[in-house]
Structure 1
Amino acid sequence: MKYSASTGAQFSNVNFDGTAEFNEAVFEGEAWFGAAHFTSDAGFREAVFARGASFDWATVHGHALFSAVVFKGSLGFRGTRFADTASFRWTVFEDHAAFDEAVFDGDAEFNEAVFRSNAQFLLMVVKGDANFRRVVFEHVAQIGPLACRQKLRLTGAVFSTAVTIEAAVQHLDCQRTHWASTAALRLRHASVDLTDAVLEYPVSIAAQTTPFIVTWHGRGVLDEDGLKKAPVRVLSLRGVDAAHLVLSDIDLSACRFAGTVHLDQLRLEGHCPLAALPHGWHRRRGVPVRWTQRQTLAEEVQWRTARATARSGWILAPDPRGPVPLEPTALAPVYRALRKAFEDAKNEPGAADFYYGEMEMRRNDRHTPWAERFLLGLYWAVSGYGLRATRALGWLLAAMAATIVLMMGLGLPDTPARPYSPGAGVIGKQDPRLHAAFPDRFTGARAHKAADVVINSVVFRSSGQDLTTAGRYTEMASRLAEPVLLALALLAVRGRVKR
């Protein structure tokens, strides 16, 4: 039915049995459908509302079709109940539009709509998907608080002015979303995909720890029934210019950082955990090993999981069936950029994990020269790249114990140095000698002397004791190696406590 009304149209509290068709209708005056009851579909495709329109507290049991509608005046869908899909595709909202407390039992479709003025979505609940693909928000200052049990899609949407988005959703799709001004996203339970989003001004994403409460006009708490409780996560920053991005209390354990622009300028505030390494003890070539916990990129976890030599425990990491794993060559710059971001924020302990990850990628990179890989492997084995104090101290204690044993067995003489005989034609003294049987060399007195040599070697001092030739070489080696191991241990401690 093509409907035309030159004056106001009053359908408040009207019960529409069967399909109600107002397709291509023209309402030149105000249109009132408040508390109307549509028992089946309600069709308003390509209708024109020249002045205000109200559908407050109406109920639509079938499909609500408002595609390509033009609302020139203010619009109200406050408290409206849509029992099935509601479509506002290609619709133009030229004046204020209010969807406060509206309930969509199915999907809410706003794809390619245009909001030329402000719009309100206070306490709106969508039990299906809320689709705002390629929507243009010209003067919308706030979206939400709203709840969406499935996906809230802002793919390709454009926000021309500063906006605050408050939402409790399971998944928020912001791929290619364009923020032409500042924006603040306060989210609950959401997994956010920011792939290729455009940020012209600062954009912050923060986790909301408590349910959203609206006190305006006496309204209450946002209904989150049906939403699974989960930490707010960011899944991808690929293609995003992170120079304008601030993340607060966001779970980054599954986030893809590779391909992010200006990653070294990303700001992380609060608790933003990254992927963790496998816990507990595992076997490597039959030898029990334990992974030291550190902040890890999801891309590294995926790469290790996909390797043919993947260690036990990595199978618990993020799903390896996702994108093709990146090689260490591509991951080392990502770690380097994150390390710089933390260093610029004066968070040296946090930057240490990213330095470790960078060195790990360089050590495992097949394109790195073998000599460099060997040195990196040695650096890793001795001290964990100068970040594992217990490893360096373990090697130091082992070196000291070995030095003591060598000194007792070969280095401490039992015959003092004696001058050469006058007829020998040699000036000076003979080398001290060790004549005792091998088992008799390991006594408490000799252990005390050997310990004195070792302690002096650790602080790069000579003990001043007479030593055999083997003892002198052993002391020289210990004076070189043991201070280095001590310095590496101190460096690791400093890296964890420096601010």
Structure 2
Amino acid sequence: MTSPLAPSPTPPPWPHCAEGATPGDPVGCRGIHVTGHTRCLAHLNTADRATYLATVTPGSDVDHRGTTFDEPLLIELLAALRDPTTYRPHLGNARFDHATFSAHARFDRATFSADARFDRATFSAYAGFGGATFSANVRFDHATFSANARFDRATFSAHARFDRATFSANAGFGSATFSTNARFEHATFSANAGFGGATFSAHARFDKATFSAEAGFDGAIFAADARFDSAAFSAHARFNYATFFTHAWFNHATFSADARFDHVTFSAHARFEHATFSTNAGFGYVVVGGDAGFRGVRFESASVLGPLWCWGVLDLSGAVFAAPVVIEAAAARMWCVRTRWEATATLRLWHATLDMNGAVLNFPLAVVSAAGETDPVRVETIGGVDAAHLVLTDTDLTTCRFLGAFHLDQLRLEGDTRFARTPTGTDPLRGVPLRWTGRLVLAEEHHWRALPLPGRRPRQRAGWTPAPPHPTGSAPTIPGPAALAALYRQLRKTFEDGKDEPGAADFYMGEMEMRRLDRRPGRSRAERGLLTAYWALSGYGLRASRALAWLGLAMTTTVLAMMLWGLPTSDPKPKVTGTLPAAGQAVDLTVDTGDPTLTGTTHDHLTGIRAEKATRVVLNSVVFRSSGQNLTTAGTYIEMTSRFLEPVLLGLAALAIRGRVKR
């Protein structure tokens, strides 16, 4: 047990009573002199006290700084101040600074029509201000309430200050009305603190307040800014059905027990940055009219967060979720930048744009569009995320940036996943109209194709989307073809594992496109040329129409070449040559067939009969067969070329058709 503090040797700044001064306490009683006397009210003799009280009327100013009141003395004073019409004590300017109330202090339903000062007052027993009316400023700074303090239904029409006040027992402010600023900064509530149904019409300040027992703000109304920065809630904290009409600040607040914010309405910003929730945190059916900030918050055992409707940004950046949690939210934007998930989690979101840049996933995390395909969640970036733990269901990835993510080949895409597509229509390039082949593409490819090349015309075509500006104003990081090829290759594996053949084919084409367009120093021109030919002839084995068109063009060209130069005008006839010897001797003759010849004009070569023969030759050459048709020397070489090229084109067409059937 600690011994009491020694009396201060410093006298108060007012003329004081000094009754009971001793060498150990040279100041003695610190009560202010009653006007016309040299003693405080507590030490006046009976006659002088009666004379003084006879001068006190309802509404009178009273100054009893440093005075010690027992219960009979306070009753006498309040009786003199009682209004005969309302039967309530009515005080004007009331000065009770440093006063000590050694017994019950009952100011219930009292009216303070001017300033009321209770700075550093000590209430050793019950302090009752229930239903009291404070028409001007009231101050309880550094006041000490050793027993229950009741301010229920009290009305504070001007500034109310309880800075550094100490409430050792229950403190009740239920249904109290604070018309202007209310300050409880650094206040200490050692027992239950009840503010249920209280109305704060101006700023409410609870910065660095300490709530050692239950803190109840159920149904409270905060019409202006409410600040609980660095407040400490050691027991249950309840804000159920509370309404915050402007900004609410809980930055660096500590919630050591359950914190309930169910059915709370935040009409403007709600900030919980770097707050700590050590046990359950309830934010069910919360409405936030502005931004909701949980930056750096630590949730030790929160199992459910939401449903939460946020009209602005729901910021969970840097937050830590140490236990399995389900977050249900509807927000314009949701930031999970460098958020740490130390257990499994599910994000059920409605129409939100999600930024997960640098999030740390130690366990599986599922992002689900609660509205399904009708209003999918738009994922903006997963850079720096270990995608092996990430599951995206019914999400919109048209603007998603994947650069920097790990294990993209293990990313799971469920439901209807949307990606960006190539631009539609045709675009002029060097005077030749080009049409982009429809396929799924990454947002990063849009950004890269929209970049202008140094010293050359812009690469941008109609429909390619430039990269959005970086939030810091610096140039955004846009990956080149090599990095894009790696992204496409890893994501293609994701589609293949999910048996999504169309998606896998589109991402294979994206990978091949980036390899073809990669012009880094050291890249083989022969490889790029081969890839260009592969792209031009069959769209990397994926465009059957292109391969068939080339096959048809090649066959048509070959037919025309055969008609013009390959087929002879007439088949050569056998010719016998030799010498007839004398009778009775053997005959020696040589049979020879001449070379096929081509005569006549070009018009003579283009006939139906020659077309039929040329078509037969070409069709046979496609399947590596010889037609047996006599050909000119030029025709022989044309057939040889046809028998090499056209089966290749036929194979590419067959490969593309097979891929199309699988898709």
User: For residues 398-409 of structure 1, what are the structure 2 equivalents within 5 Å?
Assistant: 398-409=553-564
- Say if 1:40 and 1:60, in contact at 8 Å, map to a contact too: yes
Using CA pairs under 8 Å that are at least 6 residues apart, name the structure with larger relative contact order, 1 or 2.
1
* 1:55 corresponds to 2:217: yes
Summarize the Cα distance change of 1:495–1:426 in structure 2 as closer, same or farther, 3 Å threshold: farther
Q: Which residue is equivalent to 1:394? A: 549
Match for residue 216 of structure 1? Answer: none
How far did residue 460 of structure 1 move?
A: 2.6
Counterpart Cα distance in 2 of 1:208 and 1:347: 23
Compared CA separation, residues 299 and 428, structure 1 to 2 (3 A): farther
The one of 32, 37, 45 equivalent to 2:199 is 37
How many Å separate the matches in 1 of 2:597 and 2:545?
38
Check the 8 A contact 2:422/2:464 in 1, yes or no: no
CA contact (8 A) 1:144 1:166 kept: yes
The answer to whether the 8 A contact 2:576-2:591 is kept is no
Call closer, same or farther: CA 1:117–1:428 in 2, change over 3 Å.
farther
**1:174-230 deviations in Å (ceiling 9; x for gaps):** 11111011111111121111111110111111111179xxxxxxxxxxxxxxxxx96
Report what 2:438 is aligned to: 293
TM-score by length of 1: 0.92
Report if aligned partners of 2:452, 2:460 keep a CA contact under 8 Å in 1: no
Instruction: Report what 1:457 is aligned to.
Output: 621
Q: Is the 8 A contact 1:27 1:49 kept in 2?
A: yes
| Cα distance in 2, alignment partners of residues 247 and 231 from structure 1 | 11
Kindly report structure 1 stretches of 4+ aligned residues shifted beyond 4 Å: 423-428
Q: Is the 8 A contact 1:160 1:179 kept in 2?
A: yes
Partner-residue secondary structure (3-state), 2:396:
coil
Q: CA deviation at 1:302?
A: 0.8
Partner of 1:433: 597
Which of residues 208, 212, 223 in structure 2 aligns to 1:46?
208
Aligned to 1:446: 610
Secondary structure class of the residue paired with 1:455: helix
Instruction: Tell me, yes or no, if structure 1 residue 485 matches structure 2 residue 649.
Output: yes
Q: Distance in 2 between matches of 1:352 and 1:239?
A: 26
Q: Structure 1 residues 397 and 48, CA, compared in 2 at 3 Å: closer, same or farther?
A: same
Q: Distance in 1 between matches of 2:274 and 2:469?
A: 33
Any gaps of 5 or more consecutive residues in structure 1? 212-228
| Post-superposition offset of 1:491 | 1.3
For residue 497 of structure 1, report the CA deviation from its aligned partner: 3.2
After the TM superposition, which of the residue ranges 297-306 and 47-56 deviates more from structure 2? 47-56
Residues 60-209 of structure 1 correspond to what in structure 2 (within 5 A)? 60-209=222-371
Rounded to whole Å, the distance in 2 between the matches of 1:493 and 1:64 is 67
**1:475 lines up with 2:617 in the alignment:** no
For the 8 Å contact 1:298–1:318, the answer to whether it is kept is: no
| Residue type at the aligned position of 2:283 | F
1:351 to 497, 504, 507: 504
Does the residue aligned with 1:23 lie in a helix, a strand or coil? Answer: coil
5 Å matches for 1:256-405? 256-308=401-453, 309-310=457-458, 313-314=461-462, 316-319=464-467, 321-322=469-470, 323-367=476-520, 368-405=523-560
Secondary structure class of the residue paired with 2:593? coil
5+ unaligned residues in a row in structure 2: which ranges?
Answer: 1-161, 471-475, 580-588
Per the alignment, in what secondary structure is the counterpart of residue 533 of structure 2?
helix
CA gap 1:310/1:483 in 2 versus in 1, 3 angstroms: farther
Structure-2 change in CA distance of 1:119 and 1:422 (3 Å): same
From the superposition, tell whether residues 460 and 349 of structure 1 become closer, same or farther in structure 2 (CA, over 3 Å).
farther
Answer yes or no: is the 8 Å Cα contact 1:301–1:314 preserved in 2: no
Aligned equivalents of 1:444, 1:269: Cα separation in 2: 58
Residue equivalent to 1:244:
389
Pairwise CA distance, 1:318 = 4.3
**Deviation larger for 241-250 or 360-369:** 360-369
Corresponding residue of 2:26: none
Find the aligned partners of 1:145 and 1:428 in 2 and give their Cα distance: 97
Instruction: Provide the rounded CA distance (Å) in 2 between the counterparts of 1:489 and 1:233.
Output: 38
2: distance between equivalents of 1:359 and 1:316? 19
Percent identical across equivalent pairs? 49
Q: Which amino acid aligns with 1:408?
A: M
C-alpha separation between the residues in 1 aligned to 2:525 and 2:372?
A: 53
- 1:225 equivalent in structure 2: none
Distance 2:353 2:172 in 1: 44
Distance in 2 (alpha carbons) for counterparts of 1:364 and 1:94: 57
**8 Å CA contact 1:304, 1:314 repeated in 2:** no
What secondary structure does 1:467 align onto? coil
Deviation at 1:138, TM superposition (A): 0.4
Distance 1:210 1:196, change over 3 A: closer
Over the aligned positions, Cα root-mean-square deviation in angstroms equals: 2.1
Counterpart residue identity of residue 460, structure 1: F
Contact 1:4 1:27 in 2 (8 A): yes
Rg (Cα) greater in structure = 2
Q: Is the 8 A contact 2:576 2:592 kept in 1?
A: no
Mapped contact 2:484–2:511 kept (Cα < 8 A):
yes
Secondary structure, in 3 states, of the residue corresponding to 1:447? helix
Show the counterpart of 1:222: none
The SS at the match of 1:473 is: helix
How far the C-alpha of 1:428 sits from its partner, in A, is 5.7
* Aligned partner of residue 233 in structure 1, secondary structure: strand
Going from structure 1 to structure 2, the CA distance change for 1:423 and 1:131 (only over 3 Å counts) comes to farther
Structure 1 window deviating more from structure 2 (441-450 vs 397-406): it is 441-450
Partners of 2:198 and 2:309 in 1: how far apart? Answer: 24
Q: Which amino acid aligns with 2:465?
A: A
- d(CA) in 2 for partners of 1:127, 1:77: 17
Q: 1:276·1:294 contact (CA, 8 Å) conserved in 2? A: yes
Q: Which moved more, 1:150-159 or 1:409-418?
A: 409-418
What is the CA–CA distance in structure 2 between the aligned matches of 1:412 and 1:251, rounded to whole Å? Answer: 60
Deviation at 1:433, TM superposition (A): 2.2
Secondary structure of 1:489's partner? helix
Secondary structure at the residue paired with 2:441? coil
Q: CA deviation at 1:321?
A: 4.1
Which is richer in helix?
A: 1
The offset of 1:311, in angstroms, is: 5.1
Alpha carbons of structure 1 residues 320 and 391: separation in structure 2 relative to 1, 3 Å: farther
TM-score (norm 2): 0.70
5-14 or 288-297: bigger deviation? 5-14
Amino acid at match of 1:88: F
Q: Contact 1:306–1:320 at 8 Å: present in 2 too?
A: no
User: Aligned-pair distance for 1:93?
Assistant: 1.0
Greater Cα offset, 482-491 or 158-167: 482-491
